């Protein structure tokens, strides 16, 4: 019996590794296709908005389905995505554009591209936003189940304010960027998660939900509403078109590192301490890094004539 329990505990680990490997392959590839296929300006903003819409919609649907499937058995949460992923792979084979013919040595990410200040700030800001978001969802889920005793479906419903607003508003992201520019939206999108984490740190009880958890979830989600598409657009705004396919993996590495570093740290603090303040202190510090980075972007000089900020200057 002991071996069976150990096997069941170890089973999700390779599944999680496989899922993260798939995300690491598809996320930078999707954004790289957009940045190299669509022209700067309205076309690319529209494409990034659609890309963000499907990501937000998938997360929202996944949160609801996970709560429903867990009621039937945890194995369904691993079994259900498999045929969906297979169908999407077959669909992608017919829809994705073919690779351009290779010229010379194979292209790969160049760390020297990080000398581009906007790419560097976008990667760090996205890492902070993603790490804060993922860590907060883990903390809220832990609190709902361990402290409140909520069922999985109820936990999923409680998390909807942290994913639905992005799915609803992301189709208008291109217009927001065209009107306000990326730097302002990213700064506002960094301020709201910091405010949400600071509020939760001040009142970590989370109850009642309407005045405890809900405002925090909405503030952190507001960061995604304001900054998610803007970060994606700013990351390659001043990178030469020929180098964008190499710059996107560097940016997406920052995005993934935010969750990779923050999630285990939050989990360790939740299990090592009785209260939630140590984990919330970490999340507040991570969100503060994003805010400082965003403010530095506001103070940075405007791009010169040789490196125009197409996303902020062109109008649809």
| Tens digit of each residue's pLDDT (9 = 90 or more) over 237-272 | 778 777 877 777 788 888 888 888 998 999 999 989
> Is 195 part of a structural domain of the chain?
yes
In degrees, rounded to 5, the angle at the alpha carbon of residue 28 between the alpha carbons of residues 225 and 224 is 10
> Is 31 part of a structural domain of the chain?
yes
> Is 98 part of a structural domain of the chain?
no
Axis crossing angle, helix 213-235 with helix 42-72, rounded to the nearest 10: 140
Residue 66 has pLDDT above 50, yes or no: yes
Three-state SS annotation for 84-100: HHHHHHHHHHHHCCCCC
- Identify the CA nearest to 126 among candidates 272, 298, 293, 264: 293
> Is 101 part of a structural domain of the chain?
no
Please tell me the total count of domains within the chain: 1
Domain containing 6 equals 2-72+112-301
> Is 83 part of a structural domain of the chain?
no
| Tens digit of each residue's pLDDT (9 = 90 or more) over 171-210 | 787 788 888 888 999 999 999 999 999 999 999 988 899 9
Percent of the chain past pLDDT 90, that is, above it, reads 26
Residue 252's domain is classified under what CATH number? Answer: 1.20.1250.20
> Is 100 part of a structural domain of the chain?
no
> Is 90 part of a structural domain of the chain?
no
| Cα gap 95→92, rounded to integer Å | 5
Residue 242: cis peptide before it, omega within 30 degrees of 0: no
DSSP string, 173-197: HHHHHHHH-HHHHHHHHHHHHHHHH
Alpha helices in 160-276 (DSSP H): 164-169, 173-180, 182-202, 213-235, 244-272
> Is 80 part of a structural domain of the chain?
no
| Cα gap 297→284, rounded to integer Å | 20
């Amino acid at each position: 019996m002991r071996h069976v329990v150990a096997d069941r505990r170890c089973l999700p680990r390779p599944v999680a590794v496989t899922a993260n490997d798939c995300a690491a392959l598809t996320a930078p590839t999707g954004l790289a296709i957009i940045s190299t296929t669509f022209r700067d300006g309205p076309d690319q903003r529209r494409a990034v908005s659609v890309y963000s819409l499907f990501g937000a919609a998938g997360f929202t649907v996944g949160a609801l389905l996970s709560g429903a499937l867990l009621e039937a058995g945890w194995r369904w949460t691993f079994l259900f995505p498999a045929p969906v992923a297979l169908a999407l792979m077959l669909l992608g084979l017919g829809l994705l554009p073919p690779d351009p013919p290779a010229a010379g040595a194979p292209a790969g990410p160049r760390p020297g591209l990080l000398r581009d200040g906007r790419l560097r700030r976008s990667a760090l800001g996205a890492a902070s936003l993603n790490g804060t978001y993922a860590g907060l969802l883990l903390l809220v889920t832990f609190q709902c189940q361990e402290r409140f005793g909520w069922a999985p479906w109820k936990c999923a419903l409680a998390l909807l304010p942290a994913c639905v607003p992005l799915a609803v508003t992301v189709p208008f992201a291109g217009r927001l960027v065209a009107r306000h520019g990326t730097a302002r939206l990213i700064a506002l999108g960094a301020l709201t998660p910091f405010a949400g984490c600071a509020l939760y740190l001040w009142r970590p009880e989370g109850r009642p939900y309407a005045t405890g958890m809900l405002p925090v979830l909405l503030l952190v989600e507001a960061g995604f509403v304001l900054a998610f598409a803007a970060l994606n657009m700013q990351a390659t705004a001043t990178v030469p078109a020929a180098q964008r396919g190499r710059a996107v993996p560097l940016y997406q590495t920052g995005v993934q590192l935010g969750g990779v570093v923050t999630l285990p740290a939050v989990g360790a603090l939740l299990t090592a301490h009785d209260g939630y303040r140590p984990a919330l202190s970490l999340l507040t510090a991570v969100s503060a890094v994003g805010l400082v980075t965003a403010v530095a972007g506001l103070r940075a000089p405007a791009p010169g004539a040789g490196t125009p900020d197409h996303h902020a200057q062109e109008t649809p």
